[in-house]
Amino acid sequence: MIGRRVAEARVRAGLTQFDLARVVGLDRSALAKVETGGRRVSALELARIAEETGEAFEWFVTDPPPAIVSYRIGVGAPATSSIDRLIEQVARDVELVQSLGVLDVIEFEPFDQPADVAQAESLAATARTTLGLDPAGPITDLVTPLADFGLFAFAHNLGVDAPDSATTLLHRGGVSVVNSDRAVGRRRLALAHELGHYLLADEYTVDWRVGAWPDSQRTEWLIDVFARAFLLPVDSLRSRWADLRARESIRESAVRAASEFRVDMSTLAARLSELNLADQEELSLVRAVTTTRADIIEHDLLVAHDLEGTSLPRRYEKAVLALYRSERISVGRTAELLRGTVDEAALPQLPPVHESEIWKFVS
């Protein structure tokens, strides 16, 4: 297994056997034997391989979460995209923190998959109640209530060619990764979509076209409906849209509604269409709207920054820092678990250990 992982890591890093062997201090033939299982690899050699290939040491010696293993067997590939690799890393990190007893999750029975639009709408309303959210108002913070429920959402810029998002179940809870290359409204929609997968207990999913699934892909399309209904509840959107349209143009109404509910124009237009709140001409106008700096100033709009750059759930961050303060993980490991968002030098100074406490370690 370790040999296969070494070969995979080397290929993903774009290295030849000669290049990697030279850095690690092995003959190319010795590395070739490692990769085929014909030679053992020492811990020091493996540490050097991990450093050169950019993989965590434990990646070589432990299995990924079962949901990811099952998915890869199904597609017949060790990794399909950058988001597949990232979510494995994040899942390992979360499970490590969980194993140290500082990140409990809520156990729940998976919900039934919606069979039609009405059931998708009902699931969205139930999800709000289950997560302790206002049943009607905009959701200002999407990441925190999901983390409290056991779904830990991480964001990272994976580029324009990567999927929108992905989710995997863990032994306890789950992890979602959102591609922060997308606009903020699309990122929020993607996370709401991943919540749908989590509630249905889908083991592992990668979503390339969140918000654009056709009716022919019925399951994903219904989860899109769920996501829009979750972010834009029927009663509050209908009431707010009627109020806006009674006194403002279609453009101004769209700008205000999209800002208040923190969605993009495509999501708003799709939801208005589902609820028959606008005709085709109006929907085309909504889709074409771009919120400008002048709009933000004139209408005192809130600029959302959810899931921006590299971001982690606050509950997870606090758990990692609690482990650091209790000296259960090292400074370097803390920085790794926080995925570079905090430098080692920026971590709080720990109080010096009194010499009498040495007996706790040697007695």
Contact 87/194 with Cβ under 8 angstroms? no
Ordered domains of the chain (ranges, CATH)? 1-62 (1.10.260.40), 66-231+306-363 (no CATH), 234-298 (no CATH)
Q: How far is CA 359 from CA 270, 328, 329, 363, in A?
A: 65, 17, 20, 5
Residue-wise pLDDT tens digits, 327-341 = 999 898 999 999 989
d(C-alpha 100, C-alpha 63), whole Å: 18
pLDDT of 319 reads 96
Q: What percent of the chain has pLDDT over 90?
A: 60
Q: How confident is the model at residue 244 (pLDDT cuts 50, 70, 90)?
A: very high
Q: What is the mean pLDDT of the chain?
A: 90
Question: At 110, is the secondary structure helix, strand, or coil?
Answer: coil
180 has a pLDDT exceeding 90: yes
Residue-wise pLDDT tens digits, 262-298 = 999 999 999 999 999 999 999 999 999 999 999 999 9
pLDDT of 363 reads 45
Handedness of CA 49, 50, 52, 54 (dihedral sign): positive
pLDDT of 142 reads 95
Contact 233/135 with Cβ under 8 angstroms? yes
pLDDT of 76 reads 59
d(C-alpha 296, C-alpha 221), whole Å: 32
- Give the lowest-confidence range in 3-12, 243-252, 280-289: 3-12
In sequence order, the β-bridge partners of residue 169 are 174
Model pTM score = 0.86
DSSP 344: G
pLDDT of 242 reads 97
237 has a pLDDT exceeding 80: yes
Residue-wise pLDDT tens digits, 26-67 = 889 999 998 898 998 888 888 889 888 888 787 788 777 777
For residues 5-10, give the mean pLDDT: 87
Distant-in-sequence, close-in-space partners of 354: CB < 8 Å, separation ≥ 6:
none
pLDDT of 91 reads 93
Residue with the larger pLDDT of the pair 355 and 296 = 296
Question: At 175, is the secondary structure helix, strand, or coil?
Answer: strand
Q: What percent of the chain has pLDDT over 70?
A: 93
pLDDT of 74 reads 63
